[in-house]
Structure 1
């Protein structure tokens, strides 16, 4: 059975999509950008602050679905500038238990929604 997951603790969708969808014990989380869920505004302070907000948004959606970062099996990271890889990678890693990382790819893209520097999507097992 397909279920739509929504929480006010993560930014609301800015288009015709859901924050997340679960089906057959899998959770598919839409790409999260660094929007503050309370204001809808993009956080400022550079790619480091953006990466932390993205991870907080992912965490809120995972929690709404009854999961944690330890349930993550796959992530996709989209960066506006691959020169930011090391910093984003360090911040990303800090949200997982060492050695329990999901599969992942990181790609540079020419532009992201609302002109942010980082977006991350995730698949988790429930």
Structure 2
């Protein structure tokens, strides 16, 4: 059975007692949703959805780094907005962080309400990078799809 390991960092807001900031399992990092909360004040950052989007992504970045990964390794992003009128403002900030090709796949949906009354929440999945893959010999295993075995 695959081992799963909780990821925790004090550089991002702490999770509630019934979930983890992220889980590492089989070379992947699965991050919980992140909101635009400042870890120093434990309050939502002031301003608009762009400010909270930036902080949410910075929080995810801190969690990914604690897991030995980075935003460059993100493969899937889910964005939740309480108002699709905020899509352009969120997207502008999002593009500042996720501009390298290949970009992650993404879903963005409108929801009725988010924690603490915020207007944006972002979650992601990333791989742990080439260093992890080579340290576990995953890169040298035969590719069963191409019959390289």
Partner residue of 1:53?
55
Q: Aligned-pair distance for 1:14?
A: 3.0
Q: Aligned-pair distance for 1:93?
A: 1.2
Q: Does residue 78 in structure 1 map to residue 105 in structure 2?
A: no
**Relative contact order higher in (CA < 8 Å, ≥ 6 apart):** 1
Q: Aligned-pair distance for 1:39?
A: 1.8
1:22-64 CA deviation, whole Å, 9 max, x = no partner? 1000100000011111221111111111011001001101111
Q: Does residue 109 in structure 1 map to residue 111 in structure 2?
A: yes
Q: Aligned-pair distance for 1:96?
A: 2.1
In structure 1, runs of 5+ residues without a counterpart are none
Larger Rg: 2
So what's the TM-score if we normalise by structure 1?
Answer: 0.96
1:54-92 CA deviation, whole Å, 9 max, x = no partner? 010011011111111111010100001001111101101
Q: Does residue 121 in structure 1 map to residue 123 in structure 2?
A: yes
Partner residue of 1:67?
69
Whole-Å separation in 2 of the counterparts to 1:122 and 1:98: 16
Query: Which has the higher mean CA deviation after the structures are superposed, 98-107 or 108-117?
Result: 98-107
Q: Does residue 28 in structure 1 map to residue 27 in structure 2?
A: no
Question: Does structure 2 conserve the Cα–Cα contact (< 8 Å) formed by 1:70 and 1:100?
Answer: no
Q: Figure out how many residues of one structure are paired with residues of the other and give that number.
A: 126
Whole-Å separation in 2 of the counterparts to 1:7 and 1:100: 28
In structure 2, runs of 5+ residues without a counterpart are 129-149
